A = this chain, B = another copy of it.
Amino acid sequence: MRFFSDNAAAACPQVMEALVQANRIDTAYDGDAWSEKLDGAFSDLFGKEVKALWAATGTAANCLGLAALCPPHGAILCHELAHIEVDEAGAPGFFTHGAKLTLLPGHGAKLSPETVDEACARVRDDVHQVQPAALSITNATEYGLSYRPDEVAALGEIAKRRGLGFHVDGARFANAVAFTGADPADLTWRAGVDVMSFGFVKNGGMNAEALIFFDPAKAADVPRLRKRAGHLQSKGRYLAAQILAMLEGDLWLANARAANAAAAALAEAAGPDRLVYPVEANELFVRMAAGEAGKLRALGFDFYDWAPDEVRFVTSWDQDMGHVEQLATAIRSL
C-alpha cells in the first residue's frame, strides 16, 4: 500500500484512451490537431488569451518558464526549499545560463511579500551585485500548503513594484485549486502571475505538463528554447492529447479532489498535534517516532521518512480508499 509519491501513480483511463485516439499519422512536432487546440483550451480555462506549450517534465516546464523571465546575469527569488532549488539538479542554472537562485525562508515553503521585498531591498543597484529579475513560488507548496488568491496577489504586487517576472511552479496547482475552491484566474494572472508550469503528471497524466504564459508576448522565444533543450517531441500530439483529456470535463480537478480527500482523511486521523503543517493538498508531514513508523510499515504501508521523527505520506488521484481507511485506522491506533 504505497503512499510514497504521486509521481509513481498510474495514468488515468481517460489519458490512456486519448493516447489511443492520437495514435494515427498526423503532422510532426506541434503542428498536429491536438497541439493546436492547447492555446484555446487553456484560454477558456483561465478566461484570458494565453499561450500554452507542452513539455514532458515539470523541470523542463519550470525552467523554460524561468529562462523566459530571467537573464543569465539575473536572480530568481524562491523559497529555500523550492523544488527548483532542492530537487532539479541545478536545471535552472542550466536553462538560464547561470542565473542565481536567491533563497528565502518561510514556514511550509511558503513565501511572504515582506520576505520578498526585503530581499530586493538588500541588493545594491550596481554592476557588482546580481539583480533580482524573477520571483518563483510553488502552489501548492512542497509541504502541501495552498496559497490563497489574496496571498498570490500580494506577492504579485511586490513583483510588479520591483520589476520581477512572476513564475508559479504548479506541479500541484490542481490540488491548490481543489483545496481553495478558487478560480484558477484568481490564483494566476489576476494576481500578477506571468507564467506557470501546470502539472498533470502527478495528477493522472503519463508524461505531459503544460507551460502557460499569461502574456503570450513573453513566450515569443520559448518554442525555440524548447527545441534547443531537446524538449520538442516529434510526435507531440501524444502529449497534447493527454492534457486535453485531463482538461475535458475538469478531470484535472476531479483527480485532485480525490487525492486531496484521501489526504484529508489521513490528516483527520493524525490529528493536529502530529501534523507539521496544515494539510491543504495531497501531502502530509506527520510527527511519528521511529517505532511508530515501523509499526505502520509492518502493516504493509510504504512511505518516506522525512526527518528525525517525521514521515511523509503522499496520496494520488487513484489512491485506494480502502487502503486510506486502513492507514487512518492504523495511525489512530498508534
Contacts and interface: CB of A to CB of B under 8 A. Distances in A.
Contacts of A99: 90, 93
Interface stretch (A8-16, A188-196, A247-255, A257-265): A8-16
A206 interface: yes
A29 to B, nearest CB: 8
B89 A94 contact: no
A27 B8 contact: yes
Interface in A1-39: 2, 4-5, 7-11, 16, 19-20, 23-29
Interface residues of A, number: 73
A91 interface: yes
A127 B31 CA distance: 12
A221 B73 CA distance: 9
A232 B25 CA distance: 27
Contact of A87 (B56, B129, B230): B129
A209 to B, nearest CB: 10
A146 interface: no
B127 A223 contact: yes
A210 to B, nearest CB: 14
Given A229-B94, A235-B207, A128 B20 contact: no
Contacts of A127: 89, 223-224, 226-227, 232
A103 B75 CA distance: 15
A27 B9 CA distance: 9
A235 B72 contact: no
A328 interface: no
A201 B56 CA distance: 15
A268 to B, nearest CB: 24
B20 A7 contact: no
B207 A56 contact: yes
Interface in A44-88: 55-61, 63-64, 71-73, 75, 86-88
A227 B23 contact: no
A101 to B, nearest CB: 8
Central interface residue in A7, A11, A72, by most chain B CB within 10 Å: A72
Interface string A288-318: 0000000000000000000000000000100
A287 interface: no
Given A88-B128, A207-B233, A26 B11 contact: no
A104 interface: no
Interface of A: 2, 4-5, 7-11, 16, 19-20, 23-29, 55-61, 63-64, 71-73, 75, 86-91, 93-101, 103, 127-131, 201-202, 206-207, 221, 223-235, 238-239, 316
Task: Give the top 4 A-B pairs by smallest Cβ distance, nearest first.
Answer: A60-B230, A93-B98, A59-B230, A7-B28
